[in-house]
Structure 1
Amino acid sequence: MSVLPWRKTLSDTPRIILHNSDTAPLAESLCAAFPKADYRECNSYEGLPTLVDSYKPEVVYSVRFAGTPGYPRDALFGPQGPSWIANGGAGTDHYGKWDPQRTIVTNAAGVAAGMMAEYILGGFLHFTLDVPGLQKDKAARVWNARTVRPLAGKTLLIIGLGHTGQAVAARAKAFGMKVLGTRARPRPMKNVDEVYAADELHDLLPFADFIAVSTPLIPATRGLIGAREIAAMKQGVILADVSRGGVVDQAALHVALSAGHVAAVVLDVFETEPLPETSPLWALENVVISPHCSSVYAEWEQASFDLFIQNLDRWIRGERLVNIVNPVRGY
């Protein structure tokens, strides 16, 4: 069996750093799987550079647990940085660019896809069933006759048919929706009626009753949904964004929401996180705001770390890792 080119050595106990806000459960899982594991724990951004310099890890499992500002990416890609960084989440935009010949980066894409898909469909249902209106009537003890709107027969456009986009498509089909989708390299996909190239997005926007944004943030997708694209959307569209802040121009979105062109949005990601108190989005009733939590569920961290454990076994055996991120594509 050949050793992968980025491996320094084939060691039964590679030097590992566990980097998260709470590493104790991770350490317990690591020791259960690899009793002889040589590892250190780090629970802060500030402490990681010193630990990397002194310990010289081969492998780092890292979660972006306190946001992007201050994240110690330079230490990870510096001269004492590891050969393999296992990113605990799906997005890797906080790493910037790296040399894949020197450092391999994997992610946990797919671990939270189902939960994020439920979040998106739940957001759509929140508005089609007029949950805000029902809550107001309940608070006022008013029995108002009303109608609700079905998802069946409506058209959903999924921007980004990765793990999350495919999970959204499967659930949308269960509701009887027509599903369109875009991806960098289009090909027929299960649960998607029509797949288009990413550069055909603008032509698809007028046909969508609902839009789910689940594309990674890379140079090609920054500002992907701007004022021009929002203007091209169907009147009354409902949009959900679980991608990354910066994919959707939220200032332009605010204008369209205020004017009624966009009926409602469900936002889990923002250009600045936490969302500043001064943001005008807070004041709009047709906006759901959540604190970047669509992928966070009780079993998420364990599922992500289980994927790392499986990959670590491959690393020790010299086998190819799963979920290797291409630094050019960003996924």
Structure 2
Amino acid sequence: MAERPRIVLSNDRTDALAQQLLVAFPTADFRVCNSYDALPSLIDSYHPHVVYSVRFDGTQGFPRDALFGSGGPAWVANGGAGTDHYGAWDPDRTTVTNTAGVAADMMAEYVFGGFLHFTLDVMGLQKDKAAKQWNSRTVAPLSGKTLLIVGLGHTGRAVASRAKAFGMTVWGTRANPTAMEHVDEVHAAGDLISLLPRADFIVVSTPLTAVTSGLIGPEAFGAMKRGVILADVSRGGVVDQSGLLDALRSGLVAGAALDVFETEPLPADNPLWELENVLISPHCSSVYEGWEAASFAMFLENLARWTKGAPLMNVVSPSRGY
């Protein structure tokens, strides 16, 4: 490992990142890159050892070939958790890390904001307010309900801890089921269909991989309890959007808080926009004041490890996607 590695900071806003880098490594050898188009030529001319990469302008046009081509860096430090926009890579040639966990608490708050939006009928309350009508209403408690978390990674575990504060029963799935704090039952990922009929609320927080693509599809919707409320903070493609649309229209899914979509930005003609039982957000559940600084701080800690030849944190397996 180079003691003074060549580093590229690839993001649309790099001034603050550069300042953080220089505070931690005053003699750092680095370049900044603020556009997808400029990254390939910079990598070709500068030959960085490390690229800190943020997907700041969507997936279309993302310069993954420059990162993983023959002249790419030895280490790609992804500034977020999801790495599906990288496609496949050779882990023997390129190490990829992510910042999973940095936004877990915020994403858990988003999930429960979505749940409460529906259980408290915020939409109905807003309509009554606009009409200046005092209508009697009954709100629905979270306490005593069963929450199924599809993917017990950092975000899933943060959701579980908050669910317990609301008095919920918590189940979850993961590839390697082991007992976890705040989770009443941990099941194998393959048990999903058998668990869905008993879930009142569902959180989808699993990475998008070849295995999880379309995971919440026809069979899953067919197994769900009528009136379930769903929150999706995974990646577009894990939940089959067409199937979800049908489930929302029929009332099978009573409400859905959706932060991710198969196509982003969500096209204006997508029928999801028209449904009152859908809460739409622009892939922002992990975006909070200070998230970039927190993500970059994790990178700097890893960079210190890199220069010392120590193992890196949060190394991503291309086969698992996390």
Q: Do they superpose with TM above 0.5? A: yes
What is the root-mean-square deviation in Å for CA atoms of aligned residues?
Answer: 0.6
**Which deviates more from structure 2 when the two are superposed, residues 153-162 or residues 141-150?**
141-150
What residue identity is the alignment partner of 2:222?
A: A
Matched, 1:30 2:15: no
1:200-237 Cα offsets, whole Å, 9 max, x none, are: 00000000000000000000000000122112100100
Matched, 1:295 2:286: yes
Matched, 1:74 2:78: no
Structure 2 counterparts to residues 240-259 of structure 1, below 5 A: 240-259=231-250
Structure 1 unaligned regions, length at least 5: 1-9
Matched, 1:155 2:146: yes
1:53-94 Cα offsets, whole Å, 9 max, x none, are: 000000000000001110000000112111100000000001
Aligned residues: 322
2:91 corresponds to:
100
Matched, 1:21 2:16: no
What residue identity is the alignment partner of 2:204?
A: V
Q: 1:142 aligns with which of 133, 137, 144?
A: 133
Matched, 1:52 2:43: yes
1:120 corresponds to:
111
Mapped partners of 2:82, 2:314: distance in 1: 12
2:296 corresponds to:
305
Please state how far the C-alpha of 1:146 moved relative to its aligned partner.
0.9
Q: 2:218 aligns with which of 205, 222, 227?
A: 227
Please state how far the C-alpha of 1:13 moved relative to its aligned partner.
1.5
Q: 1:192 aligns with which of 160, 177, 183?
A: 183
Matched, 1:172 2:172: no
Mapped partners of 1:13, 1:31: distance in 2: 13
What residue identity is the alignment partner of 2:309?
A: G
Mapped partners of 2:221, 2:280: distance in 1: 19
SS at match of 2:111: helix
TM-score w.r.t. length of structure 1: 0.97
Please state how far the C-alpha of 1:286 moved relative to its aligned partner.
0.2
Q: 1:110 aligns with which of 62, 85, 101?
A: 101
What residue identity is the alignment partner of 1:202?
A: I
Structure 2 unaligned regions, length at least 5: none
Please state how far the C-alpha of 1:283 moved relative to its aligned partner.
0.4
SS at match of 2:149: strand
Structure 2 counterparts to residues 202-221 of structure 1, below 5 A: 202-221=193-212
Please state how far the C-alpha of 1:261 moved relative to its aligned partner.
1.2
SS at match of 1:212: strand
Deviating 4+ runs (over 6 angstroms): none
2:272 corresponds to:
281
SS at match of 1:285: coil
Q: 2:308 aligns with which of 290, 309, 317?
A: 317
Please state how far the C-alpha of 1:12 moved relative to its aligned partner.
2.6
Mapped partners of 1:62, 1:256: distance in 2: 37
Task: Give aligned-pair identity as a percent.
Answer: 69
